[in-house]
Amino acid sequence: MRIGILGYGNLGRGVECAIKQNPDMELAAVFTRRAPEKVSILTKNAEVCSVNDIEQWKDKIDVLILCGGSATDLPEQTPKYAELFNVIDSFDTHARIPEHFDDVDAAAKKSGHIGIISVGWDPGMFSLNRMYANAILPEGKDYTFWGKGVSQGHSDAIRRVEGVKDGKQYTIPVESALEAVRNGENPELTTRQKHTRECFVVLEEGADAAKVEETIKTMPNYFADYDTTVHFISEEELQKNHSGIPHGGFVIRSGKTGWDLEHNHVIEYSLKLDSNPEFTSCVIVAYARAAYRLYQEGQRGCKTVFDIAPAYLSAKDGAELRRTLL
Ligand code: NDP
């Protein structure tokens, strides 16, 4: 499978690393909106090209992996490039997935390609686990907890506060809430009861720490509904201890079975990720294999993780899967 990467940020680099672990794939080219000579990649025999030249690669790439941002890049790029390639993205604005699906579906059907959207861990592996658990235990309750991990959006929000030079925000699940869910207590949990937020902030010189802390803690939508802790640290400390992009979380469904619902069951799926983009990239690359196979079979249009049978993700064939993993 010849893979193209469009957009070379955290995810783009993660996809490049993931391709290295999958011998049935090779990286053909990385496309960027920046000047190609300013973007240096890790793979020796792959090209870095301007996105303006992408059309020349129409017959040289089996699946194009879109690694741009969900806010503004992917809503435009995924439908656009579905006109030329089989595409896959990690679009994670949950509320806008239905319209994104429609846009990619129309483009992919018109051009005769496959598009797979919203692949990663959430949306992605978490969505799959929510769906499996719902189908298996119709009588029950769903819970998703995120963290401990870095929230890019909340870190950006901190950095926009006056007096803040730099900052990182961690989302942390509340342990007692997790325990109650795992015990099958089916608690009703408010936003505040599910997660706390911890901020590490580097102040501008002369900034008023108390004012910065107050502004962060009362920020609507981002922090006001949570118990938030703010730590002031040096720039060196932020670099040394908070430069990673870890994340993870838990998808739990607790349900009841039996004639009088007398038995409890708890299904739990959890992730603890050292690198959010590298893990997300590994999921995307497995689904790129599925995109290629679906295309070969003659399928067209947009798909999500719900539509794709698990065997399509694996490099192993059906006989080997049945022998080793079933
Ligand atoms: P980045 O900000 O690192 O990269 C986004 C784009 O920015 C790149 O593709 C790149 O495009 C452009 N860019 C511009 N200047 C630079 C620069 N100097 N260095 C690096 N990139 C630059 O975002 P991420 O890769 O971390 O994340 C991309 C998206 O992945 C997120 O918006 C998120 O929605 C999604 N995601 C989804 C997950 C899921 O579970 N579904 C999980 C994690 C992320 P170009 O090369 O064209 O300039």
Tens digits of residue pLDDT in 107-160: 999 999 999 999 999 999 999 999 999 999 999 999 999 999 999 999 999 999
The residue contributing the CA closest to ligand 1 atom 34 is 70
pLDDT (0 to 100) of residue 48: 98
Mean pLDDT in residue range 223-229: 97
| Whether the CB of 32 sits within 6 Å of ligand 1 | yes
Is the ipTM above a cut-off of 0.90? yes
| Whether the CB of 291 sits within 6 Å of ligand 1 | no
263: CA distance to ligand 1 center in Å? 45
d(CA 191, CA 187): 12
CB atoms within 10 A of CB 321: 13
| Whether the CB of 34 sits within 6 Å of ligand 1 | yes
The residue contributing the CA closest to ligand 1 atom 19 is 9
277: CA distance to ligand 1 center in Å? 9
| Whether the CB of 215 sits within 6 Å of ligand 1 | no
CB atoms within 10 A of CB 261: 11
pLDDT band for position 53 (cuts 50, 70, 90): very high
pLDDT (0 to 100) of residue 272: 98
Cα angle 128, 315, 247; round to 5: 45
Q: What is the pTM of this model?
A: 0.96
Question: Ligand 1: which atom is nearest the Cα of residue 277?
Answer: 43
d(CA 129, CA 113): 27
| Whether the CB of 277 sits within 6 Å of ligand 1 | yes
The residue contributing the CA closest to ligand 1 atom 22 is 9
The residue contributing the CA closest to ligand 1 atom 6 is 68
SS3 187: coil
Mean pLDDT in residue range 79-100: 97
| Whether the CB of 33 sits within 6 Å of ligand 1 | yes
pLDDT (0 to 100) of residue 306: 98
pLDDT (0 to 100) of residue 46: 97
9: CA distance to ligand 1 center in Å? 5
Question: Ligand 1: which atom is nearest the Cα of residue 8?
Answer: 46
**Mean of all residue pLDDT scores within the chain:** 97
| Whether the CB of 122 sits within 6 Å of ligand 1 | yes
CB atoms within 10 A of CB 171: 20
The residue contributing the CA closest to ligand 1 atom 11 is 7
Residue 124 DSSP label:
B
pLDDT in tens, 270-323: 999 999 999 999 999 999 999 999 999 999 999 999 999 999 999 999 999 999
Q: Which residue has the tokens 């004012």?
A: 211
| Whether the CB of 92 sits within 6 Å of ligand 1 | yes
The residue contributing the CA closest to ligand 1 atom 29 is 69
187: CA distance to ligand 1 center in Å? 36
pLDDT (0 to 100) of residue 123: 97
